[in-house]
Copies of this chain bind each other. A is one copy, B any other.
Amino acid sequence: MKIGILGGGQLGRMLIQNALKYDDEWFTLDPAKDAPCSSISYFTEGNFNDYESVFNFGKGKDVVSIEIEHVNVDALFELQECGIKIIPSPEIIKTIQQKILQKEFYKKHQIPSPEFQVIQRKSEANFPLPFVQKMNTGGYDGKGVQVITNEADIEKLWDVPSVLETLVDIDKELSIIIAKNEKGETRTFPVTEMVADPKLNLLDFNICPSSISEDVQHQIGQIAQQFIEAADSPGLFAIELFLDKNGKVWVNETAPRLHNSGHQTQEGNSNSQFEQMYRVLKNLPLADTDILSFSGMVNLVGEEGFSGKAKYEGIEEILKLPKTYVHLYGKSETKPGRKMGHINVLADSREELMEKLVRIKSLIKVKS
C-alpha cells in the first residue's frame, strides 16, 4: 500500500521504523530536506501548509495521514473528494487546528474542558483572572500559550484571535491515547502521567501507568469514549488532560496524531502507539496495549547555549543501564530546546522508575 504522511519528523520516522516489518511504501512531505523521514521513505521536499504541495503529494496514494496537525486542510478535503482515504478526517484535523473550534467542539459534545471566552482581539478580553490565553492558530509545544495571572498581565495579551480559558489548579497532567479503525473498533493505551519542565514548557518525563484513583480512571475512560464518538473519524488521538486538586478531570487539548506522551509504549506495552497507528492506517485489527511493566520516558532536548552538530554527552553511561532504550531522531543539528530524541526505561515499581528517570536525566546532555 502507498501511504503518504504530511510531515517528516520524528513521529513519522518512528511510525515508518516500526512498520518496516510490514510490506508498504512510505512517502513523506516536509520542508526540511534532511527531515528525520527523508532517508527512510520516498521523500518530497515541500510545505505541508501549501495547498498545491499537499494536493500533489497526496494524489496517487492509497491513504494520506499526518504526523503534525498544522497542514493544509483544504487540500485534504479535495483529496478526499478524489477518493483518497484521509486519516484522521480533514474535519477533525480542522477542528483541532483551531483552538476556538476545538473548544467549541468540547462544549458541543459535553466533554469537560475549562470554561472559556473566545476573543478576536485583545480589547474583547473579559474573563475572570487568572486565565490562560491560547492563540487560535500557531500554537505548538507550548508556544502560543501564556498565563495571565493579574490585572498588570493583561497588558501582555496577544492581540490575535484566541481562547481565554480558566487556569486549572493542576494536581497532575495526564494523557490518554485512543485509536479507532474504519471498522469502528477502538482501543486505548493506559493513562500516562506527564511531568513538565517549567522552563522549557516541553514535556519532560512520562510515567506509565499513572497513579490515579478509580474515579479518575473512570472519568478519563468516559472522556476518551465521548471524544472518539464525537470525532467520528478513524485515527489515533492523544487527549491531554488536567486532573485538578478537587479530583476532577479536564481536557486541555487533543492531538489528532502520534504523541510524545506515548513514546514509552515502544518498550513498555505489548504494542506501541506506532504499531497502533499503522493498524489504523491499514484498517487492521487493533493491537493489544497491555502494560508489560512500569515504564517511563525522558525527552532529550538540546541544551541551552549549544547549537550545531549534536553530541550526546553521557550516552555510553546510559547504554550500560539495564532496560533502558535510547531513541534518537536522526537530526544532525541541535539547538536549545530542540527535541533530539528520548530515552525509555522499564522498572518493576514506580519508585524504581522515578529513580531511574532522574538518574538518566542527570547523566545525559545534548551539546554540540
A284: Cβ under 8 A from any B Cβ: yes
| A275-291 contacts to B (CB < 8 Å) | 279, 284-285, 287-288, 290
- Indicate whether A287 sits within 8 Å of B327 (C-beta atoms), given known contacts A40-B40, A292-B292: no
- Indicate whether A288 sits within 8 Å of B22 (C-beta atoms), given known contacts A17-B17, A40-B40: no
Chain A 282-310 near chain B by CB (<8 Å), digits 1 or 0:
00110110101000000000000000001
Which one, B20, B270, B316, B320, contacts A322 given CB within 8 A? B270
Chain A 308-347 near chain B by CB (<8 Å), digits 1 or 0:
0010000010011011011110101000000001000010
| A146-194 contacts to B (CB < 8 Å) | none
Which one, B285, B288, B290, B328, contacts A23 given CB within 8 A? B328
A259: Cβ under 8 A from any B Cβ: no
Docked pose: A330 CA to B40 CA in angstroms:
14
A70: Cβ under 8 A from any B Cβ: no
Docked pose: A328 CA to B282 CA in angstroms:
15
Secondary structure dominating the interface of A:
loop
Whether B23 and A330, one on each chain, are in contact in the complex, defined by CB atoms closer than 8 angstroms, is: yes
A199: Cβ under 8 A from any B Cβ: no
A103: Cβ under 8 A from any B Cβ: no
A108: Cβ under 8 A from any B Cβ: no
Q: Which B residues are in CB contact (< 8 Å) with A323?
A: 270, 288, 290
- Indicate whether A284 sits within 8 Å of B21 (C-beta atoms), given known contacts A290-B322, A292-B292: no
Docked pose: A290 CA to B319 CA in angstroms:
15
Which one, B21, B270, B284, contacts A328 given CB within 8 A? B21
- Indicate whether A287 sits within 8 Å of B20 (C-beta atoms), given known contacts A40-B40, A292-B292: no
Task: Kindly list 13 other residue pairs between chains A and B, CB separation below 8 angstroms, not including A21-B341, A270-B322.
Answer: A13-B20, A17-B17, A17-B20, A20-B40, A21-B325, A21-B326, A21-B327, A22-B328, A23-B332, A284-B316, A285-B319, A285-B320, A290-B322
Between A and B, 17 residue pairs with Cβ closer than 8 Å are A13-B20, A17-B17, A20-B40, A20-B330, A21-B326, A21-B327, A21-B341, A22-B328, A23-B328, A23-B330, A23-B332, A40-B40, A270-B322, A270-B323, A285-B316, A285-B319, A290-B322
In the A-B complex, the 7 residue pairs with the smallest Cβ-Cβ separation, listed nearest first, are A288-B322, A21-B327, A285-B320, A17-B20, A285-B319, A23-B328, A284-B319
